[in-house]
Amino acid sequence: MAIVIQKYGGSSVGTTEKIRKVAQTIISRREKGDKVVVVVSAMGDATDDLINLAKAITDNPDKRELDALLSTGEMVSSSLLAMAIKALGYDAVSYTAYQLGIKTTGNYGKSLIDDINETKIKDSLDEDKIVIVAGFQGINEDGDITTLGRGGSDTTAVAIAVKVKGICEIYTDVDGIYNVDPRLYKNAKKLDSIDYEEMLELASLGAQVMHSRSIELGQKYRIPIYVGLSNSDIKGTIIKEVNNMNMEGKPVTGVATSDDDISVTLKELAVDINILADIFDTLGSNKINIDMISQTAPFNNKVNVSFTVPKDDLNECRSILLNFIEENNISMDTDITKFSIVGIGMKSTSGVAARMFKVFKENNITVKMITTSEIRITCSIKKEDKMKAIELMAEEFNL
C-alpha cells in the first residue's frame, strides 16, 4: 500500500461537475488499496478573478491582504472536493495550510515552504480518510497567510510527498510534457521521461506545465514526479533522474519561450563594481529575479549594463533603480521573447550554439542578449520572430 499525493490544477476542478469527476477518480485510486492525499488549486480562473477584485479596490493592493484574499480560492475547491467524495460514500477531510502547519518564509506572493508538520496528514490517513489539501499557501513566522506564486500548488504536492515519503502525481489539462509547447508548434512530441535538470531549466524558462520550485524539491529529495491529464488513461511523462547511458543520444531535448520579461539597460554607468553590487543586492533583497546579464566594454570609464526582469516587477524595479541612476539613463525594452534550447546532451556535444546562431543568422533573427548554462542556451529575440525561431530550432535539432 503506497501513499499517493495527487495534485489537480485549476482547470481540472473548474466546475462542480469536474470536481465530481475528480472525486470519482480519487475514489478509484483509493479502491486499489493506496492511501491518497490530494492537493488542489483554485477553481478555473478563480485566482485571476480575485486579483481583479482587489484591483477594483486599488491599483496597488497591499501584498499581505492580497495573499489572504487569494488563499481563499484553494479553500473553496478543497472543501467542495471533500464534500463530493463524502457524497459518494467515502470519508474525506480538507485542510488549510494553517491547519497543517505549512510553514513559509520570504515575501508575500513569492514565499517558500520551510517545513510541513505531516502528523495530521498521517493521522487522517491512518483513520482511512482521503486527505484534501489547499495548495499554493502557507503560514509565515508572523502567523500571516502567504502564497507561493503561480503554480505553487505543484510545490505543495511535492513537499508533502517528501514529508510522507509518497508517490507524487501532477494532473493538469495537458497529457504530459512536450519538447515544444504544442500550442505553439503543431508537431511537438510528448516525452515519456525527462531529467530533473532539464525540466527545471524548461520550467524556469517559460514552460508552464510545472512550477520550477517543485522540480527543485523533487530533484533534491529524488522524488519522481508523474505529469498527466486528469481523468484520463493517456500515458503522461515522468520527471526523474536521467539514464546517463542515453546522454549523447540527442543534444537538445526541448525548447522553451517566455514573453513575461522585459530587458532593462542602465546607460553610462560608472565602471565601479560596488555600484553594480549594490543595485543587484537591492533588487535581490526585494525578490526581483534577474537573468541574462550583459555588459558593454568600458568607454571613457563608463559601461552599459543590461539584464532581464519579470514584467510583473517592472514598477518596483524602476523605483529601486531610480535610487542609483537618473531616469534618462534607464531604458526598458518590452519587445522581447526569451528563447531557450535545453538538453542534458549539451554537456557532451560541441557546436550546439554555433548551429543555433547560424540558423538565426541565415533567417535574419536578431539576438539581443545571450546567457548559457551547461545544458541551456537562452537568448532574447524580437517577439515577432518567436514562431519562426521555434520551427527553425525544431527542424535543426529534430525535435
DSSP H stretches of helix in the chain: 16-31, 46-57, 63-87, 97-100, 119-126, 152-164, 196-204, 212-221, 273-285, 314-321, 352-362, 386-396
Helix (H, G, I), strand (E, B) or coil at 270: strand
pLDDT band at 94, cuts 50/70/90? very high
pLDDT surpasses 90 at 315: no
Q: Please tell us whether the domain made up of 3-173 is placed in CATH 3.40.1160.10.
A: yes
Mean pLDDT computed over every residue of the chain: 90
Which long-range contacts (C-beta less than 8 Å, at least 24 apart) are formed by 242-249? 242/193, 242/194, 242/195, 242/196, 242/197, 242/198, 242/344, 247/344, 247/345, 247/347, 247/348, 248/345, 248/348, 248/349, 249/345
> What's the pLDDT score for residue 245?
46
Stretch (H or E) spanning 113: strand 112-116
> What's the pLDDT score for residue 166?
94
pLDDT band at 285, cuts 50/70/90? confident
In this prediction, residues 322-344 reach a mean pLDDT of 88
> What's the pLDDT score for residue 244?
53
> What's the pLDDT score for residue 247?
47
Query: Could you give the percent of the chain with pLDDT greater than 90?
Result: 56
Closest CA to 390 of 352, 362, 344, 359: 359
- Lowest mean pLDDT segment, chosen from 41-55, 62-76, 298-312: 298-312
What confidence tens digit (pLDDT) does each residue in 238-273 have? 999 876 545 456 889 999 998 888 898 988 888 877
Which strands, in side-by-side order, build the sheet including 302-310?
291-295, 302-310, 261-270, 330-333
pLDDT surpasses 90 at 299: no
For residues 100 and 138, what is the distance between their CA atoms, to the nearest angstrom? 9
> What's the pLDDT score for residue 65?
96
For 61, the grid coordinates are 493592493
For residues 3 and 39, what is the distance between their CA atoms, to the nearest angstrom? 13
pLDDT surpasses 60 at 81: yes
What confidence tens digit (pLDDT) does each residue in 192-205 have? 999 998 898 888 77
Q: pTM of the entire structure?
A: 0.81
pLDDT band at 33, cuts 50/70/90? very high
pLDDT surpasses 70 at 24: yes
159-185 core/surface letters (b: 16 or more CB in 10 A; e: else):
bbbbbbebbbbbbbebbbbbbbbeeeb
Domain coordinates in residue numbering, the chain: 3-173, 261-333
Q: Please tell us whether the domain made up of 261-333 is placed in CATH 3.30.70.260.
A: yes
pLDDT surpasses 90 at 182: no
Taking the alpha carbons at both ends of the chain, their separation in whole angstroms is 39
In this prediction, residues 342-369 reach a mean pLDDT of 90
pLDDT band at 383, cuts 50/70/90? very high
Q: Which residues pair with 270 in a beta bridge?
A: 302
